[in-house]
Amino acid sequence: MGGAISLLAVNFIVAQIFVAAFLIISVKSRSGRAAAWCAAGFGVASLSAICEAVLPFTPMPRLFAVGAFANVLAGFCLLRIGLGVFYSVPAKPPVLASFFIGSVIVDLFIYDLPRGTLLHAFFYQMPFFLIQAWSAAAIIRSRRRSYADGILLCMLALSALYFLVKIYAAVAAGSGATAADYLQSPFALISQALGAMLIVGTGVAMLGVVVKDVVDEARASSEIDALSGLCNRRGFSSRVAPLLRDLSDHDVGTLILADIDRFKLVNDTFGHHTGDEVIREFSHILADVMPHRAVAARVGGEEFAIFLPRVGLADARVVANGIRSELAVKRINGLPEGVAVTASFGVSAVAAGELLDAAMRRADNSLYAAKAGGRNRVECAEPPIRVIASADYHRSGKYRPT
């Protein structure tokens, strides 16, 4: 019995570590609700260790035996809620509550059945199998397919399989004549040892998924401009790079650079608060007008960039003129009636295999020409010369124009 009690203590301590970890994440991440449910799940499930440890010494073994069953199952149900929140595949509360209550009632009914029989083992272990399989199904139904999600799915599937195997193991190894005898049975030691490994494995996998989400959130935040809500220069480069790689010799992309005219004068005359409002309104226009899959960014104080994949120069010019027209008639808070804000645009085609910096330089030259030509206008650069892979590409990994 000492070995089983020791493993119960280990399981309890490990569960508390996961409770603390998920609680910390719950206040540090946008996945806070999901992490809080997971913390509650591990906390409630860990109470079963206390119930099982008390079983051999209590005059009310039925209460603590059913309590151990109910705590584990309730913990798994809470984890299912947390996974549902995280993966946007929620479990219906009435269905989950009915499943839990029905399972506890069944456990009460089978309490007096002979232990170590197939009938008792089947009805005791089946609810655990079903809830773990239900949780695994939530991941399958979601659209997330990262390695971390795959590992968690495997751990939940193994956990479900473990409870199926326990049906046979309880009969083959013997789980004691009564609930109080359980801790002295060979089955208890095996069950607690395997259970400890699965708790650690599943808990680590859940933490991995949530921590990955925290890291992705931090990375995304570092690539977003807080004022405009658009990408910053770093975010623009990272999002445009794969789109450039997708271009073939028959495809083109287009880059638009935009600069708000006389923005310093707006700041100096009407204040930085109004200047910020101009930036926000222009960003909203970009988000509304730009086509699907386009990437927009604020790459400087009043300078913006838009990449349009598989859009030709003529169509990109139409898009730029649409943005220019929208801004010119936009009523902006903080500006007097009749005061309009305008912007100038430089447009450049991007060839397959071309580096983004080269296209940026051409678009910037066109933008300068638009400014010099009177502002509030769109200028297009000459199409780029065809870019092919040279011998230098195999050494440096970069393309060189010919």
Query: Is residue 83 within 8 Å of residue 34, measured between CB atoms?
Result: yes
Query: Which of 176, 173, 153, 154 is closest to 165 using CA atoms?
Result: 173
Residue 280 structure tokens: 């926000």
DSSP structure string for 186-243: HHHHHHHHHHHHHHHHHHHHHHHHHHHHHHHHHHHHHTB-TTTSSB-HHHHHHHHHHH
Q: How far is CA 389 from CA 238, 350, 351, 396, in A?
A: 22, 16, 13, 11
Residue 61 structure tokens: 């073994």
382 is an active site residue: no
Q: How far is CA 385 from CA 58, 212, 349, in A?
A: 86, 42, 10
Query: Which of 318, 322, 384 is closest to 356 using CA atoms?
Result: 384
Query: Which of 302, 343, 349, 309 is closest to 326 using CA atoms?
Result: 343
Residue whose entry in the numeric block shows the structure tokens 């209590």: 58
Query: Which of 178, 290, 275 is closest to 230 using CA atoms?
Result: 290
Pick the catalytic residue: 52, 277, 281, 302? 302
Residue whose entry in the numeric block shows the structure tokens 């200028």: 379
Q: Is the dihedral of CA 78, 79, 83, 86 positive or negative?
A: positive
How many alpha carbons fall within 13 Å on the CB side of residue 172? 7
Residues near 30 by Cβ (< 8 Å), separated by ≥ 6?
Answer: 213, 217
Residues near 230 by Cβ (< 8 Å), separated by ≥ 6?
Answer: 224, 283, 286, 287, 296, 297, 298, 304
CA angle (174, 156, 151) in 5-degree steps: 135
Beta strands 295-298; 343-350: pairing state = unpaired
Known catalytic residues? 302
